[in-house]
Amino acid sequence: MLTKFFNYLLRRIKSDGFKTFIHFFATFSGIFLIMTVMILQILSYGVYSNVDSSLKIAANKSNSYLEMEMLKRELFVTSEVDQNNTTTIYQTYDTKGSSEPPKTSANNQDSKKKKSKMEDAPHDLSVAANTSVLVLDKDGKVLNTVDKFSSLTNLSIDRSNLDIISQGSAQNYFNQTEKYRLITEKVDSSLYPDAKYVVIAINTTQLEEATERYVKLIVIMMSFFWLLSVAASMYLAKWSRRPIQESLEKQKAFVENASHELRTPLAVIQNRLEVLFRKPESTILDNSENIASSLDEVRNMRLLTTNLLNLARRDDGIKPEIETIDPAFFDTVFANYAMIAEESEKGFTARNQVIRPIQTDKTLLKQLMTILFDNAVKYTEDDGQVTFTVRTNDRHLYISVADNGPGISDADKKKIFDRFYRVDKARTRQKGGFGLGLSLAQQIVVALKGTITVKDNQPKGTIFEVKITGA
C-alpha cells in the first residue's frame, strides 16, 4: 500500500501539472517574500528615521546640551535613595510669588547667579521626553545628575566611536532592559573644562516593543496569504493547463480522424491495383472500372489533403489582408457558381444587394463563400434550389446561403463546425465530404471579425448566415 502511494506521488511530481504548480507557487512565494522584506525594512526605517534625525540635530548642538545639563545639575540636586525608598529633593526656585520661607543672604546671592545662568542658557533646544544627556569627563565618569531609577548609569559608552549613531541597552533599577539609540560627541567648553564628552541617548524601548508587535502581525498576515497562494497556485495550474489539454485532445482527434479518412481511399486504391496486378493481360478498357474508382479515390485524397493543409495554415493564425472590394466582385463569383449549379442540375438564385465598396480580405471572403456554396450544392437533393444573398448596411456585410435539402437537426447544429463531423457519414463520403469545410469556414469568419449561424429553412432545408463586422 505504501509503495503504491509513493509511486503515485512520484508520478504526480513528474507530471506537467505539478511542474506548472511549482512554477506558480515559486512565483507567489517570491513575491510575498520580497513584499515581506520590503515592508519590514520600511517599518524599521520609519521607526528609527525620526529618532536618528533627532540625534543628528542634537549632535550639532552638543555644547548647548552640555551647558543645559550642567545648569540642571547646579539647580536641581537629586539625593540618593535611602533605605526607606524615599527621596529628598533640594531645589532652588524663584521666590517671586512663593510662600516658601525666606532664604539667607548667601543663598539669595547664589540664587541670583543661578538665575542669571539660566537666563543666559540656550533656548533653541527641543528635547523630547524620552531623550537623556550624559556628560562625561576624560575618564568616562558621569558629571551630571542621573535619575537613580534610570538605566543610563549602566549604559555602556564607547568613547572611541564618535559622531556615529549606535544601538545600546542597559538594565534599569527595576531589573528591566531598556534600549537606546545614542550618539557620542566630543565637547570643549571653557565654562566646564572637566566635561570632555556628551552622550545623547533616546529611549526606544516602547518603539521597539510596538515594532515587534507589528512585525509579528505582518508575518502572520503574510503567512496567511502565502498559504492562500498555495491554493491559488493549484487552481491556476489546472486553469492554465485546461486550454492546453483541450488543444492536445483536439490535435489527437484531428490526427486520428485524418488517419481514418486517408486509410479508406488508400485501401480502395490498394485493392484496385492488386486486381490490376492479377490481370496483367487485361486491357485498359477491361479494367476501366478499377481505374476510374482509383482515380476517384485519388481525387478525394487530394481534396482531403488540401483541406488539411488549409486547416493547418489557419491554425497558425489567419492574418487578413484588407483591401477594397467593389460590388461587381460578387457578380463575377455568382456567375461561376451558376455554371457549377447547372452542371450539378441544381437551381441557383443569386442576389447581390451590395451597394457600396467594402473593406475586407478578398481571398478569404471568396474561400468562405465557396465553402458555403459547395456545402449547399452537395447536400441538396436533385433538382434542389440554392439561394445565395449578399447585402450591406453602414457597418456590416451579410451573407446568406439557403437550400431546400433535408436540413440539419438541432443536435447536429451544435457540432457541424467541429472538424471531421458529418451529419450523415454514410452519404457524405459518397459526396466527397470530410467534415472540414464548415470548420474552416468558421475559422475564416472569426479571422474577419464576424459570426456564423445556422438555422432551419422553411418549409425545409438549411440557411447559413454570416455577419462580418467593419466590412
pLDDT digits (tens, 9 = 90+) for 131-187: 888 888 888 888 876 666 667 767 777 777 788 888 888 877 777 788 888 888 888
What does pLDDT average to over the chain?
76
CA 155 from chain center: how many Å? 51
pLDDT greater than 60 at residue 280: yes
The Cα 242–Cα 261 span in angstroms is 28
pLDDT for 303 equals 67
The Cα 364–Cα 73 span in angstroms is 98
Residues of the chain above pLDDT 90, percent: 13
Q: Strand, helix or coil at 91?
A: strand
CA-to-CA separations, 313 to 302, 306, 415, 452, in angstroms, rounded: 17, 11, 22, 20
pLDDT greater than 80 at residue 204: yes
Cβ(420)–Cβ(261) below 8 Å: yes
pLDDT for 328 equals 93
Phi-psi region of 419 (alpha: psi -120 to 50; beta: other; left: phi over 0): beta
| pLDDT winner (highest mean) among 2-6, 120-124, 431-435 | 2-6
Q: Which range among 207-216, 265-274, 333-342, 404-413 shows the weakest confidence by mean pLDDT? A: 265-274
More confident of the two residues 242 and 441:
441
Q: Which range among 9-18, 62-71, 340-349, 450-459 shows the weakest confidence by mean pLDDT? A: 9-18
* Ramachandran angles phi, psi of 302, nearest 5°: -65, -45
The Cα 136–Cα 158 span in angstroms is 12
Q: What is the CA radius of gyration of the chain?
A: 48
List own/partner pairs for 95-103 with CB under 8 A and 24 or more apart.
Answer: none
The Cα 62–Cα 122 span in angstroms is 11
pLDDT for 79 equals 38
Going by C-alpha positions, the residue among 298, 268, 304 that lies closest to residue 419 is 304
How many CA atoms lie less than 13 Å away from 202 in the CB half-sphere?
A: 25
pLDDT greater than 80 at residue 5: no
pLDDT tens digits for 298-332? 776 776 677 667 666 655 556 788 899 999 999 99
pLDDT for 254 equals 66
pLDDT for 304 equals 67
Q: Strand, helix or coil at 136?
A: strand
Q: Where residue 235 falls among pLDDT bands split at 50, 70, 90? A: confident
pLDDT greater than 60 at residue 456: yes
More confident of the two residues 50 and 384:
384
Cβ(373)–Cβ(401) below 8 Å: yes
Cβ(395)–Cβ(265) below 8 Å: no
Q: Where residue 99 falls among pLDDT bands split at 50, 70, 90? A: very low
| pLDDT winner (highest mean) among 6-10, 126-130, 181-185 | 181-185
pLDDT greater than 70 at residue 124: no
Q: Which range among 21-30, 50-59, 93-102 shows the weakest confidence by mean pLDDT? A: 93-102
Q: Supply 340's cell numbers.
A: 457549377
Q: Supply 265's cell numbers.
A: 481511399
**3-class SS letters over 112-161:** HHHHHHHHHCCCCCCCCCCEEEEEECCCCCECCCCCCCCCHHHCCCCCCC
Query: How many residues are recorded in the chain?
Result: 471
CA-to-CA separations, 179 to 41, 152, 155, 378, in angstroms, rounded: 19, 10, 9, 92
Q: Where residue 103 falls among pLDDT bands split at 50, 70, 90? A: very low
Cβ(458)–Cβ(387) below 8 Å: no
Domains of the chain and any CATH numbers: 62-124+131-203 (3.30.450), 320-471 (3.30.565.10)
| Structural element, H or E, at residue 114 | helix 105-120
pLDDT for 159 equals 76
CA-to-CA separations, 94 to 253, 264, 285, 341, in angstroms, rounded: 103, 120, 142, 123
∠ CA 172-175-180, nearest 5°, is 40
The Cα 454–Cα 232 span in angstroms is 40
Omega prior to 459 cis, within 30 of 0: yes
Please report where in the chains the cell 487578413 appears, as a residue.
Answer: 320
The Cα 44–Cα 33 span in angstroms is 16
For residue 116, the tally of other CB atoms under 10 A from its CB is 10
pLDDT greater than 60 at residue 403: yes
The Cα 374–Cα 436 span in angstroms is 12
The Cα 134–Cα 146 span in angstroms is 8
Going by C-alpha positions, the residue among 155, 21, 131, 113 that lies closest to residue 69 is 131
The 10 Å CB-count burial string (b at 16+, else e) for 92-102 is: beeeeeeeeee
